[in-house]
């Protein structure tokens, strides 16, 4: 589990943009380091969202135990606090089995609240949150973002003006506690207090990554994405589940606003934009070790190089 003389147990994070190939590499790496995989993905947590989230295949999940995938109904609201509690429990369970916790995914916020912790102040107010979302719908994101810049300029610098969810969260914290979220975040205690945390981000040349994304979207449709989304739209999806790329794009197609090819184009474009945002998030974290891979590299070879990097890190 631990590769050098160190008093701390290791926890490994393998992150990266969508479609870069994390799932296959993670399984190969897990075999080398005697690990179990814990998902670090805000959408793969939902049941029934298999094709739309490109969940690891059942064959991959049979090779190595995977956790926090297919854990809750897509109708359930799931936030960072719930994820953190569940993830900390999984870490404990995995370590008790004398295995290494290996977090895999592309949700930078989930990685951050685990590594850096979450503030303990009671900072949730459903009424405030719902009012803020109504304001966003009625007056637009820019209106809320201006409010955030006045209330917490330090947080505003780190949040994209179109990231409604994080803007609402920051304002909810400020209104419910009277303190900026940027101040409260400095009081956090995370995994690094107790464990030795190593983080790797897979990346490849932008044109190659975009090619993979386009191909993945086409493959989703060949696997039955339309039928999956039709089934999901019959349910009351939580706000987080409804954010999954493919829901809004296919609903427009089902409603007759445009054709199938346009739905595919929108999915490809929005997924590429999402990958760009993921990379921007990860680049801000100077603790991450970047692994640049080639399109033709095999997962087992990438995992081997990762293992070597892991052994050499101080």
What are the φ/ψ torsions at residue 309 (nearest 5 degrees)?
A: -60, -40
**Of 76, 10, 19, 91, whose CA–CA distance to 42 is shortest?**
76
More confident residue, 188 or 183: 183
Q: Does position 4 have pLDDT exceeding 50, yes or no?
A: no
**Residues 176 and 123 sit within 8 Å (Cβ to Cβ):** yes
Strand order in the sheet with 100-105: 66-67, 35-39, 100-105, 10-15, 196-203, 289-292
**Count of CA atoms in the C-beta half-sphere (13 A) of 244:** 30
Instruction: State percent of the chain over pLDDT 90.
Output: 75
- 10 Å CB burial of residue 80 (0-12, 13-18, 19+) is middle
What pLDDT does residue 214 have? 98
**188-209 burial code (b ≥16 CB/10 A, e <16):** eebbeeebbbbbbbbbbeeeeb
Residue 119 pLDDT grade (very low, low, confident, very high; cuts 50, 70, 90):
low
Enumerate the domain spans of the chain.
10-118+189-312, 126-185
What pLDDT does residue 5 have? 43
Work out whether the CA dihedral 66, 68, 71, 74 comes out positive or negative: negative
Instruction: State percent of the chain over pLDDT 70.
Output: 95
Q: What is the model's pTM? A: 0.80
**Count of CA atoms in the C-beta half-sphere (13 A) of 90:** 24
* From 89-93, 97-101, 170-174, 248-252, the region with the lowest mean pLDDT: 170-174
What pLDDT does residue 3 have? 45
Q: Does position 218 have pLDDT exceeding 90, yes or no?
A: yes
* From 50-54, 80-84, 202-206, 212-216, the region with the lowest mean pLDDT: 80-84
Question: How high is the mean pLDDT of the chain?
Answer: 92
**Of 258, 249, 257, whose CA–CA distance to 229 is shortest?**
249
Residue 229 pLDDT grade (very low, low, confident, very high; cuts 50, 70, 90):
very high
Q: Does position 307 have pLDDT exceeding 60, yes or no?
A: yes
- Angle made by CA atoms 147, 153, 158, in degrees to the nearest 5: 105
**Of 20, 270, 4, whose CA–CA distance to 162 is shortest?**
270
**Of 153, 179, 181, whose CA–CA distance to 166 is shortest?**
181
Q: How far apart are CA 16 and CA 200, in angstroms?
A: 8
Superfamily of chain region 10-118+189-312: P-loop containing nucleotide triphosphate hydrolases (3.40.50.300)
Q: Give the residue-averaged pLDDT of 188-197.
A: 87
More confident residue, 122 or 179: 179
Task: Give me the CATH topology for the region 126-185.
Answer: Histone, subunit A (1.10.20)
Question: Residue with structure tokens 């959408």?
Answer: 43
Q: Give the residue-averaged pLDDT of 206-226.
A: 97
What pLDDT does residue 109 have? 92
Question: Residue with structure tokens 């870490």?
Answer: 91
**How do residues 43-76 score in pLDDT, each as one tens digit?**
999 999 999 999 999 999 999 999 999 999 999 9
Q: Does position 123 have pLDDT exceeding 70, yes or no?
A: no
Residue 122 pLDDT grade (very low, low, confident, very high; cuts 50, 70, 90):
low
Question: Residue with structure tokens 């295949």?
Answer: 57
Contacts 24+ apart (CB under 8 A), 225-233: 225/51, 225/52, 225/250, 226/250, 228/48, 228/49, 228/50, 228/51, 228/52, 229/52, 229/254, 230/254, 231/48, 232/48, 232/49, 232/52, 232/74
Q: Does position 7 have pLDDT exceeding 70, yes or no?
A: no
Q: How far apart are CA 151 and CA 221, in angstroms?
A: 44
* Paired tokens of 238: 């939580």
Residue 117 pLDDT grade (very low, low, confident, very high; cuts 50, 70, 90):
confident
**Residues 12 and 306 sit within 8 Å (Cβ to Cβ):** no
């Amino acid at each position: 589990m631990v590769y050098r003389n160190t008093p701390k147990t290791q926890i490994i994070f393998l992150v990266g943009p969508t479609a870069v190939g994390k799932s296959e590499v993670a399984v190969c790496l897990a075999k080398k380091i005697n690990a179990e995989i814990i998902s670090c993905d805000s959408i793969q947590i939902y049941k029934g969202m298999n094709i739309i989230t490109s969940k690891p295949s059942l064959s991959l999940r049979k090779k190595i135990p995977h956790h926090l995938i297919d854990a809750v109904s897509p109708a359930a609201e799931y936030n960072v606090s719930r994820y953190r509690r569940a993830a900390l429990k999984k870490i404990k369970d995995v370590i008790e089995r004398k295995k290494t916790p290996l977090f895999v995914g592309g949700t930078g916020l989930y990685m951050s609240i685990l590594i850096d912790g979450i503030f303990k102040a009671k900072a949730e107010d459903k009424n405030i949150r719902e009012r803020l979302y109504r304001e966003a719908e009625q007056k637009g994101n820019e209106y809320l973002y201006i409010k955030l810049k006045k209330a917490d300029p330090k947080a505003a610098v780190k949040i994209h003006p179109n990231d409604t969810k994080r803007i609402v969260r920051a304002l909810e914290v400020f209104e419910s506690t009277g303190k900026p979220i940027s101040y409260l975040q400095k009081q956090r205690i995370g995994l690094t207090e107790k464990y030795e945390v190593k983080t790797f981000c897979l990346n490849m040349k932008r044109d190659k990554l975009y090619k993979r994304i386009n191909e993945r979207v086409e493959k989703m449709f060949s696997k039955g994405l339309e039928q999956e989304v039709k089934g999901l739209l019959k349910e009351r999806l939580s706000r987080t589940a409804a954010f999954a790329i493919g829901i809004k794009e296919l609903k427009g197609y089902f409603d007759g606003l445009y054709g199938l090819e346009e739905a595919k184009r929108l999915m490809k474009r929005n997924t590429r934009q999402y990958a760009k945002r993921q990379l921007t998030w990860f680049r801000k974290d100077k603790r991450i070790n970047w692994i640049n891979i080639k399109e033709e590299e095999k997962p087992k070879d990438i995992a081997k190089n990762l293992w070597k990097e892991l052994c050499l890190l101080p």
